[in-house]
Structure 1
Amino acid sequence: MSSPTTAREYAYTETGSFNNLVIREVPVPTPKANEVLVKTRAVSLQFRDLMVSSGSYPAQLPPNLVPCSDMAGEIVAVGEDVKGWKAGDRICANFMIDKIHNDFMSMEVANSALGGAIHGVLTEYRCFPAHSLVAIPSHLSYEEASTLPCAALTAYNALMSGYEPLKAGDVVLVQGTGGVSIFALQFAVASGATVIALSSSDEKLQTATKFGAKHVINYTTTPNWDQEVLKLTGGKGVDRVIEVVGNATLERSISAVKIDGCIDIIGLLGGVGAEVPPVDIIRASIFKGLKIRGIFVGSVIQFGKMNKLLAANPEATRPLIDKVFEFENAKEAFAHLASQKHVGKVVIKVN
């Protein structure tokens, strides 16, 4: 597949709003010896992308940032030193292009995060280092595969890595029905675990039930949802909590988790400046023996292992896409994500 000499991409003239995005024409890059040139086919959006657009994301952004971190595409050219990849291969790039292994993440690796510290993927063509790539499972479309690098891999990292991998019979509390939460629900069900799902919408909870949640709780009509979780578990609490909100719900998550349970802290949906809850986290952690772990996406190695799980359970783990937007309508996609009306993932198709 030959590539043109110029391509379109989105960039921020300034942050403050996704409405500041502009389309510009740029030369198609030439891959270095260890790189591949990829034609972007689809990009999925994260809550992080809204934080970046507003200027609230805690990272030093390059000028005229090209946004977004999650993509799926087709290799169109390879550098002379690249082994194992060829034109026509379907790939995703890892969220942090230099996080290959599961070991401690250095600042250098953290600063390789797409769409933040470095330019992202909302572009028709981009070069990636060959070591950052994983093959797309054959049963997934480009749109489905674009949801994997952040949402799916974060959920996989939370449940399958860390202190103790998820096992059949565990009880998992999942907050919300966004991308990470739906993938966590799917992975837990595929692994034989029981899921309790939270949402403020009965309609969204119906979707969670469809995807295998055994119990659902509307936290608007049941604000003391932690007490309901304890009732559902016979007073024991859940084995682990997928905590995507942050400070605003951490107190109830600590209440809802069992002794020696695990809280995987993933998101900041409650806001960066949300007030710290009036709970003694240290005391609770000691006396309940809690394992509290921060999750920041995952590695290329984990990505490959996750794709084996997807391939082994193709229907149970198929990504849930709420809506697909055309490349020219990217701002509308951002607006739809910001409305929080979605269930699952919001995707931009790149023609």
Structure 2
Amino acid sequence: MKALCLIAQSGEGGDRLQLDQRPSLPVGPGEVRVRMRAASLNFRDGLVIGGVSPAPDGLIPLSDGAGEVIELGEGVTQFEQGDRVISLFHPNWIDGHIDRAELNNSPGGPADGFACEEVVRPARHFTRAPRNLSFLEAATLPCAGVTAWRAVVADGGVRPGSRVLILGTGGVSLFALQFAKAAGATVIAITSSREKADRLRLLGADHVIDRTVTPEWSAAVLDLSDGLGVEHVIEVGGPNTLAQSFRAARTGAHIAIIGATAGFETDTMPFAIVQAKRLRLQAVTVGSRRDQLDMVRAIEAHDMHPVIDRAFPLEGFADAVAHMRSGSQFGKVCLEI
């Protein structure tokens, strides 16, 4: 079977990847063979491929995949041949609390991922895919979708009438917009162009602020919330956007700390604002199997559809990575397999 693999050559994107032939593995007890049909890219995948996050030579990248079960191992009862499934980002995290040391086998690093034609994995490494989604749409869920679900619902507890601030138009942010609107919240979105602003409004954003026109967007958020601020912030920007996110937050607000898409460097950390506003900072590292199952049911109940910016063939992986890194996308960048 075809598989994309990391190689030792230094560099970024396609410079560290080669398309290889891997043997098909036998299916053992408790395992399933899944014919992969689609995968999606996440910010972390770019870090792995670029050598920022350590990964072994020969690793198959990408944490998120969707496919169909084509062979069952002895003792597998939760799936049947032909079932459509999606991967789990943290296969060991079933529900509730888990120690960080136990989250040590995420696909796409350190374990092999899904940039390949088929995989043989324990059946517990998958859940069923939403019935209303295509393979491409379903492949966007395991990392970005579950992260947004955790931030908005499981940790955030967003309720009707809540005000939610989202940053950007990446996968997590757009999922958070959809989940927040389904919960009855008012959503304020920060973006960087008029075109993206129009698309955010079509997705349901109640207010959109163009940061290229309004660099101090936190003041605009306060104006839109009667000077109080928002109860929830989906903070994907990182250190360089934290100060404005904190200023835009209401006293006692929940801040979901998710990523660093705006860069890792900053001169100041606004701890005084955190203390003065009694902000609740909750880091999000994707979520559990229970979170994914709950999210799948919600997606089906509300007939939600992920936003896909563009799909590339497996052989076009380097172009997909370059497109994701450009920051021009609106939604998820995917691979058709």
Map 1:166-245 to 2 at 5 A: 166-245=158-237
Identity, in percent, stands at 38
Residue 136 of structure 2 aligns with which residue?
143
Measure the CA separation in 2 of the matches of 1:268 and 1:306: 24
1:17 maps to which residue? 12
Matched, 1:49 2:45: yes
Given candidates 270, 274, 277, the residue that maps to 2:268 is: 277
CA shift for structure 1 position 43: 0.4
1:258-277 superposed matches below 5 A: 258-272=250-264, 274-277=265-268
Q: What's the CA shift for 1:63? A: 2.3
Q: Matches of residues 294-333 of structure 1 in structure 2 within 5 Å? A: 294-314=283-303, 317-333=304-320
96-105 or 148-157, which deviates more: 96-105
Match of 1:93 in 2: 87
1:35 matched to which residue of 2? 31
Displaced runs of 4+ in structure 1, greater than 2 A?
283-287
- Residues 244-292 of structure 1, C-alpha deviations (whole Å, 9 max, x = no match): 01000001111000001011011111233x125342x2x3333211110
Find the aligned partners of 2:31 and 2:332 in 1 and give their Cα distance. 29
Rate the CA distance shift 1:233–1:41 in 2: closer, same or farther, 3 A. Answer: same
TM-score (norm 2): 0.96
2:70 to 44, 69, 76: 76
Verify: 1:62 aligned to 2:49, yes or no.
no
- Runs (5+) with no aligned partner, structure 2: none
- Using the alignment, how far apart are the partners of 1:293 and 1:248 within structure 2? 17
Q: Does 1:334 align with 2:318?
A: no
Corresponding residue pairs, total: 335
User: 1:293 maps to which residue?
Assistant: 282
Which 5+ residue runs of structure 1 have no aligned equivalent?
1-6
SS in 2 for 1:213: coil
1:325 is displaced (CA, Å) by 1.0
Instruction: Kindly report the root-mean-square deviation, in angstroms, between the aligned alpha carbons of the 2 structures.
Output: 1.2
Alpha-carbon separation, structure 2, partners of 1:24 and 1:278? 45
Please point out which of 104, 108, 112 is paired with 1:111. 104
The aligned amino acid for 1:332 is D
Offset from partner CA, 1:59-95 (integer Å, 9 cap, x none): x422211100000000111110212112111000101
Deviation at 1:206? 0.9
Residues 165 and 276 from structure 1, CA distance in 2 versus in 1: closer, same or farther, beyond 3 angstroms? farther
Taking the aligned partners of 2:47 and 2:100, their CA distance within structure 1 comes to 23
| More displaced 10-residue stretch of structure 1: 9-18 or 19-28 | 9-18
Q: Is the 8 A contact 2:239 2:269 kept in 1?
A: no
SS at match of 2:319: helix
Describe the SS at the equivalent of 2:188: strand
| 3-state secondary structure, aligned to 2:177 | helix
Equivalent residue letter for 1:349: E
1:250-265 → structure 2 map (5 Å cutoff): 250-265=242-257
State the Cα distance separating 1:55 from its structure 2 match: 1.2
Check whether the contact 1:100–1:132 (CA below 8 A) recurs between aligned residues.
no
- Counterpart of 1:43, as a letter, is A
1:66 alignment partner AA? I
